[in-house]
A and B are shown apart, each in its own frame.
Chain A
Amino acid sequence: MKPRAYWNPYFAGVMLGLVLFGTFLVAAQGLGATAFPKRLIALWAAGVDAQWTARNPALGSYVAGGVFPLRNWIFVEVIGVMLGGFIGALSAGRFRVAVEKGPRVSVRARLWYALAGGTIMGFAAGLARGCTSGQALSGGATLATGSWLFMLMVFAGGYAVAWFVRRQWV
């Protein structure tokens, strides 16, 4: 079965923009993604060493006052993203257990790249206090200075490294 075609990018952009705008109207904040791993890590770390977690510059605020770190708007939103993405892929006939990669790279190598890239992004999203969703998209829409700087640097970093990993994609 041939999967349903992707939306026109500008139409998809308008829809995404409306969702983002609607989020600001109902939640007084934008969308996010990396709060999900951050808060899960905070919960786990607090279970292992509560004092260390409470003092940690990156995790402390998630457990301040003994609050349950998963009781949070963005965390629940990411669960919604999982549902929406799953229903979206299923209804478009795109759900498939597969590996996305270029023609010149093995599946194993591709998965090592994926792990390395994910690790770099997790570290980077910690340092920058957000990722492409929470910083670039949401902060960008509010015209936050740091978010625009972040967004420019994401593209700069991507283009700077693209040549070195070209075998993986093209």
Chain B
Amino acid sequence: MAIAEPPVVQAEPPPPPTRRSARAITWARRRRAVAAHWRVYRRNRQGMWGLAILLIFIALALAAPLLVDERRLEPAFSTGIPFQPPSADAWLGTDKFGRSMVDLLVYGARISLLVGFTATVGTMLIGSVVGIAAGYYGGRIDALLNAFTNWFLVLPWIVLAIVLASLLGATLFNIILVIAITSWAGTARLVRAQTLTVKERPYVERARALGAGDWHLITRHILPNVFPVIFANTVLTVALSILSETTLSILGLGDPNSVSWGVIIEESFSSGALTAGYWWWLIPPGVCIVLVTLAFTMCGYALDEILNPRLRER
């Protein structure tokens, strides 16, 4: 039987040993580093508990539109009976507009986490720019920025936040802005200190001798080495930002149109839930805040133990 000979395929010449780009090598190294850190992190019970709690809340916040009809949160469209204790219909009772507490809490997770994350991004952005500029350029720039940072460290944050929030007006964006403005100084100091040590390392000097500019040095050498140190701090900052938002909301400076957990607490307080005994309106949002803050703090401590070389020995 004649089987048609398969057409002779010209075997491709083996690819010449390509040189991997420097970037590919860097990323491969970073992937390995992250994997190695993850193996250490996974053994940290505290950190894993924190991570688990966080993932649940983040999933809840992301899935909120699928779980809850957003229109039911509009006071005008709410069909429930106000001030109902927990029942089969509303597992955690209802608030003064008859909105289900479960619905409110699920959407509250969205707002509170959003504020926590974006305020942290703002804090880190301002803190990193100021800290790196001060540490990297040194001299007069450092003196000026450092003095500025130290001044901001002594401003009593809550009073400053109250003043800013009441002058700017209570919108979600302003609250995020206020939190970022009042909390960047600690990060800046941390970043500056780390930049100062990284700057003196031989490879930075070598890169500079090879003609690397400031931008290249900062983005390729300083930033990647500062990042691990501030990462743990970042996670702790999210916890603080959520607490700050709650504090501002309790003082009546929250955005009434975006019902965060803090706003729920304020509404229950100002509607007399304490004297009327509407515990289901007051307790659950606070418990959510405690859980999320605790989770972020636990993750932050675990990361600090892994990433902070000073603590690693112990």
A interacts with B: no
List the interface of chain A (C-beta within 8 A of B): none
